[in-house]
Amino acid sequence: MSPALSEYAGEDFQQSPEKNLFGKYELGKLLGYGAFAKVYHGWDIESEQSVAIKAFNKQRIIKGGLTGHVKREISAMRRLHHPNIVRLQEVLANQKKIYFVLEFAKGGELFSKVVKSRFSEDLSRRYFQQLISAVGYCHSRGVYHRDLKPENLLLDENWNLKVSDFGLSSVTDPNQSDMVLHTMCGTPAYVAPEILAKKGYDGAKVDIWSCGIILYVLNSGYLPFNDPNLMVMYRKIYKGEYRVPKWTSPELKRFMARLLDTNPDTRITVDEIMDDPWFKVGYKDAEFGSGYFEMKDEGEEEMGRVGNLNAFDIISYSSGYNLSGLFDEQDAGEMFLSTVAPEDIIERIVDAAEDEKLTVVMKKNWCVKVDGGLYRNFTLLVQVKRLTEEIVVVEVRWRECESEPGLDIWKDRLRPVLRNLIHKPDGVVTSN
């Protein structure tokens, strides 16, 4: 992870995070930090397994207009379940922080290994094969990383490669062809020439270019395009001016020339890479063990998504777990969390409404609608949606004309009866 000390200078960087997260994880030492987040070593309390915990300052994300980066990372990683991609296990939040719980890569960054000594051609090929396996998988699911570099490639305890950090990724419909992207992004030394031209570009071709840079670095120990003057370096990239080390085999030299083709239209594709003689030596397809599964449909088993609720939308646009203010302006509304079973919540609401002589006009699955009864011009709609296995979100909307001065049917009559349904996670304050 590239250092960006200025992002965390001052009080915020010095403050220690909570050591216990929701009774589920323990935070350990700081592993690294970047432009938007800090990453800690952590432990799953129940399984006693190591995890990596990526912590975002929620207010900085929202106020800095960085919501899109975090949402893209969730959107990308919830689609991806591959042995060579770091897995996103869970998304958590309190009032101040958003936490990604990630698979822990014990071997650290690939970058720290290659800066010590360049790799042999065989070892370079092995890691490049794993990289392309992961990148091809991403592209088949409409995810384009757009910031591939050795600092974003990690190693597990068996020294297998793991692609990480999808904060600059682009997520598209994998079935839609001719997708043209226009966002200027990526790390300068790895950026493709078509991005420098500030024209529309193919996200897949941009990733292939970065893979070519990575292969060059693995084989040589240094960058193909590098200069203290950024404009000079960009000029070299745009023209494709680089030198191949003398120890490079003719087969690898030819292969890298296809990867670092400045013309994206003729640049090699993932399918062509996998058919290349140099690449195919000793190549084996990734094996999906029991810990991995193919995503059958975007709507099934998605990480960070439950029903039609996006977990990040909930935690990022609300203050802690007080989830009010997310309804249409014409209706009053609020949301709260509960650990009570959805069916029991609905029954409790029905009982409370009937006790107040209100009329239940609709009750279906995890939704109930109540009309005024004795209180004319009052309508209440309650819907329960699952957020995690243990926690549900209760959405409440109501509209009323006061039947008595100062009377609020929901807040004064119904909500007090249902107060004990509300879940308050540790360290979170909700306003009642």
Residues annotated as part of the active site = 147
- Only one residue has tokens 């006009």, namely 361
Pairing of strands 161-163, 153-155: antiparallel
Q: What are phi and psi of 381, to 5 degrees?
A: -125, 125
- Determine the angle formed by the axes of helices 203-220 and 250-259, rounding to 10 degrees: 150
Those residues with Cβ within 8 angstroms of residue 361's Cβ, 6 or more apart along the chain or in another chain:
369, 370, 371
- Look at the block and give the residue holding tokens 């000029």: 235
Is 213 exposed, middle or buried, given 0-12, 13-18 or 19+ CB atoms closer than 10 A? buried
Reference 265, options 182, 189, 211, 208; nearest CA is 208
DSSP per-residue string spanning 401-423: --SSTT--IIIIIIHHHHGGG--
Count of CB atoms situated within 10 Å of the CB of 130: 22
Residue 7's alpha-carbon distances to 56, 63, 94, 168, 260, in angstroms, are 12, 14, 21, 17, 33
| Contacts with 429 (C-beta within 8 Å, 6 or more apart), sequence order | 95, 320, 322
- Transcribe 18-50 into DSSP letters: PSEETTTEEEEEEEEE-SS-EEEEEEETTT--E
CA distance 44 to 21: 10
Secondary structure (H, E, C), 44-73 = ECCCCCEEEEEEEEHHHHHHCCCHHHHHHH
- Are 403 and 375 a contacting pair, CB within 8 Å? yes
Report the chain's C-alpha Rg in angstroms: 26
Q: Helix (H, G, I), strand (E, B), or coil: what is residue 319?
A: strand
SS3 217: helix
